[in-house]
């Protein structure tokens, strides 16, 4: 496995860095700034990034021996060879991530759900750690058809009441005029019809008020 070691990540020639989704600072030792570049491991890391189509947040890449001891790493940790990476799972489904990592050639897997990352390395093939909890599949909430939303809206109900009452009031007024002109025998009923007409008008005004109030509430709930 071809590897190159630099005392500090700033010493890496820009012309030799061929992994566009990562920077030397991301891969370098968090304790010393030193970096050991294993081109095979980096090629697989870039392939994994391309396959997933999402950023990989590298929590730990290369570790110098002193930093590995300081953080309690395994005595023969692959991090010291530059062939291991700890990747945050905050923006990945662990199962999908692991499947993709195996597909590009990573062989060692360590799962750390409490710390929120997964370790991958070039081998040998092995695995350890606690399993991540299964992720619930996110479903887009179903949007009811517009007709159902309108039918259930108090705006429509209030508007319907106002419309019916308005038509009723107009009907009463027409009936009143007809009776006043042609039905002299029942003229005593005309005053009562006039009262009924005003009742319909009152109902219409109430319906309009209900419709306006409901429309404001619907707007506040985003049900426009």
* Domain extents in the chain: 3-129, 168-222
- 4-38 pLDDT, tens digit per residue, is 999 999 999 999 999 999 999 999 999 999 999 99
pLDDT score recorded for residue 207: 79
List, in sequence order, every beta strand (DSSP E) within 10-164: 35-38, 58-60, 84-88, 108-112, 117-121, 126-129
Among 66, 56, 54, 69, residue whose Cα is nearest residue 27: 56
Residue at token pair 């929590």:
59
pTM: 0.61
- CATH assignment of 3-129? 3.30.1380.10
pLDDT confidence tier of residue 146, bands split at 50, 70 and 90: very low
Q: In sequence order, what are the beta bridge partners of 35?
A: 6
Reported as type and span, the H/E element at residue 43 is helix 39-52
Q: Work out whether strand 84-88 and strand 3-6 pair parallel, antiparallel, or are unpaired.
A: unpaired
The phi, psi pair for 207, rounded to 5°, reads -60, -40
Contact 81, 3 (CB under 8 A): yes
Q: How far is CA 178 from CA 7, 184, 196, in A?
A: 105, 10, 15
pLDDT score recorded for residue 147: 45
- 82-107 pLDDT, tens digit per residue, is 999 999 999 999 999 999 999 999 99
């Amino acid at each position: 496995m071809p590897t190159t070691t630099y005392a500090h990540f700033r010493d890496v020639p820009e012309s030799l860095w061929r992994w566009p989704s990562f920077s030397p600072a991301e891969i370098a030792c968090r304790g010393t700034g030193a970096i050991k570049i294993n081109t095979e491991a980096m090629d697989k890391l870039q392939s994994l990034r391309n396959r997933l189509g999402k950023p990989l947040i590298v929590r730990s890449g290369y570790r110098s021996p002193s930093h590995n001891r300081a953080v309690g790493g395994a005595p023969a940790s692959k991090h010291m060879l530059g062939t291991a990476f700890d990747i945050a799972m905050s923006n990945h489904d662990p199962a999908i991530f692991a499947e993709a990592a195996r597909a590009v050639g990573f062989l060692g897997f360590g799962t750390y759900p409490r710390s929120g990352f997964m370790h991958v390395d070039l081998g040998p093939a092995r695995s350890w750690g606690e399993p991540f909890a299964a992720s619930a599949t996110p479903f887009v909430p179903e949007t009811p058809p517009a007709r159902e939303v309108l039918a259930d809206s108090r705006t429509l109900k209030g508007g319907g009441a106002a419309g019916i009452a308005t038509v009723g009031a107009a009907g009463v007024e027409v009936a009143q005029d007809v009776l006043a002109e042609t039905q002299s025998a029942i003229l005593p009923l005309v005053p009562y019809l006039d009262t009924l007409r005003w009742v319909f008008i009152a109902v219409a005004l109430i319906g309009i008020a209900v419709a306006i109030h409901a429309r404001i509430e619907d707007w506040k709930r985003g049900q426009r």
